[in-house]
Chains A and B, each alone.
Chain A
């Protein structure tokens, strides 16, 4: 891997005045080999579990993508045929476009909402547990439920259009109108259902920040906004990176929301890549082709994550 994820440069403090110096170079070679051994022992259980249940099936899926795979286990080696077919399939390009549009809407949206939620909860003194639970409830709910509720909210006779109607507007076809509108509506549902996750992660990050840092900033006369922007957020960077990577993955793998809301319609306006994969795999049983879609999706997300990583962590070790 060409991108270096090492961050152990002893000079790497981003705010040396705020955080304690983080890493010290190690001395003897012996200590280093002992460290390596300890490291390997600590990752060993994970290595075994992942090797067997993640890496192996993923290689299996990769191999499947080079074949025409029948349900009884027969397969025919096709080489890159499935990929050539993908490149020539207009439905693939349509799904790719849908997915990118959706991610572009969804990711900034959910990060903004969950960060705002976390900051509000962090600042609250009383009833914090209650409000944390109340805000987290949608994450506990099921997609079936989210589908029922939001289909109704967005429907032509639903409360949203009734409200717009009383203002002399609408009705707006939230889930059957133009593509951008449909994807925006879907993003709203996904954000509503999913923001609790990132909110709690952000909150854990905020709670882990040393209090002294904020105190120092306040003594320096920084206002709330300034202190958030220049102190809180930089300190939150590892967590923001985590959330960004995860939500990008979640965005690219959007399926359940679409499944319960639009079924990929109207006219393939919300036919995402995973929807495409699911149709090819579990509706038409073309597992070779479906695996190829999975591989392409994987490569796209991996490239994006590495870019994000370079942006967030790479700078640290410049």
Chain B
């Protein structure tokens, strides 16, 4: 990094141009990218199609790559667009073989799991300068044992979406609480409509189905120290009981036990269900397309004992593949991409929310306002190295309870026994 000599005038010009570009590009967010020392190295980043239009997506990441390299001439950044399908198999194989990305976009749930099998390296150095700029929740979601394992790049938020026409036709006010749900269910059931869509497939993360209800009941999945299971509490039972009651009242779609999270073709898109509890902006768009824009509205997250929903940051994580000589460069990439300036551009292109207070790019339209409001009660998911295994133990038991094979209490007790076994094994 000290041998880079600029001899020719062309190169000198290039440097001047580069410097100019850097200044304009960084602008207000300059602090995050300029810290004296010039990092060098090669960094490969795996990105996913978070921007829906593929032409826009390709262009966005190509431009990002180019502008980053202009700002950091010593670093060779490669951004590869990957696929969501079977992404864990792809990432884990790459990690096991030691050939793959230095930086990869993952969820907090994945971060916990990958860290547990020593696939991730801490990234505190990439965020130390801007620590105060990030929403505390987004950083917490990536923090394990006081170390940060992911730089929050963007934020996904989910909240309640209503088919307002169904409620208006039935003369039922939009349900905002569990009690509202219980009283609306039988009225709509008479018309052959389920009050709420529910995705009970075990392939679906519980963060988007059961856990929000659990949090609304005032419960948690794990105890605060994450050393024990807490979902077999009264709160847990009341959350599962709500689903069982709704099912009995005709308030859940017939195939709720096995349905997946898709909007398209699901009861919510065909007018067979009246509302959807955890809906993201792209899903809202699909609902509007299916049902007519005027018939769909966003609301606040549902309220049980408290209001709660799920909202997860997308994290840039540093993998164990990253070599020491490329470490600084990888930090640079992460801090550059998560800067306020870059986030604004990404939010505009992908329609998601920023993870920093100084990148507030939310619009003033009703949807953005609803999402901003939901952000306040959003839980990023409970971090535990065995969060996924515990979901694997819980989901089938919830299905069993919904089918009426066991009671809510029995289902949660069984799941808790299994989950405690998992915790014990991971601790030993």
Same complex origin of A and B: yes
Contact A71 B399 (CB under 8 A): no
Q: Report chain A residues within 8 Å CB of B395.
A: 265
Q: Report chain B residues within 8 Å CB of A73.
A: 96, 98
- A71 CA / B104 CA spacing, docked (Å): 15
Could you give, for residues 238-268 of chain B, a 1 whenever the CB lies within 8 Å of some chain A CB and a 0 otherwise? 0000000000000001110110100001000
Chain A, interface SS category: loop
Which B residues between 69 and 119 are near A, CB-CB below 8 angstroms? Answer: 86, 88-89, 92, 95-96, 98, 113-114, 116-119
Known: A283-B392, A284-B388, A284-B389. A157 touches B203 (CB 8 A): no
Number of interface residues of A (CB under 8 A): 31
Known: A263-B201, A265-B396. A71 touches B255 (CB 8 A): no
Most central of A70, A152, A281, A283 by chain B CB within 10 Å: A283
Q: Report chain A residues within 8 Å CB of B117.
A: 70-72, 285-286
- Asked if B405 CB lies within 8 Å of chain A CBs, one says yes
- A264 CA / B204 CA spacing, docked (Å): 11
How far does the Cβ of B227 sit from chain A's closest Cβ, in whole Å? 19
- A145 CA / B86 CA spacing, docked (Å): 17
- Asked if B122 CB lies within 8 Å of chain A CBs, one says no
Number of interface residues of B (CB under 8 A): 38
- A70 CA / B92 CA spacing, docked (Å): 10
Contact of A171 among B86, B254, B392 (CB under 8 A): B254
Contact of A176 among B114, B388, B392, B403 (CB under 8 A): B403
- Asked if B400 CB lies within 8 Å of chain A CBs, one says yes
Contact A271 B396 (CB under 8 A): yes
- A167 CA / B165 CA spacing, docked (Å): 33
- Asked if A317 CB lies within 8 Å of chain B CBs, one says no
Contact of A265 among B98, B114, B399, B405 (CB under 8 A): B399
Could you give, for residues 291-303 of chain A, a 1 whenever the CB lies within 8 Å of some chain B CB and a 0 otherwise? 0000000000000
Which B residues between 376 and 428 are near A, CB-CB below 8 angstroms? Answer: 386, 388-389, 392, 395-397, 399-400, 403, 405
Q: Report chain A residues within 8 Å CB of B202.
A: 263-265
User: In the complex, what residue of chain A is closest to B320 when comparing beta carbons?
Assistant: A72
User: Could you name 9 residue pairs across A and B whose Cβ atoms are closer than 8 Å?
Assistant: A70-B118, A71-B92, A71-B114, A71-B117, A72-B118, A72-B119, A157-B254, A173-B254, A283-B113
Q: Which residues in A have some Cβ–Cβ distance to B below 8 Å? A: 70-74, 148, 152, 155-157, 171, 173, 175-176, 259, 262-268, 271, 279, 281-287
Q: Which residues in B have some Cβ–Cβ distance to A below 8 Å? A: 86, 88-89, 92, 95-96, 98, 113-114, 116-119, 200-204, 253-255, 257-258, 260, 265, 272, 320, 386, 388-389, 392, 395-397, 399-400, 403, 405
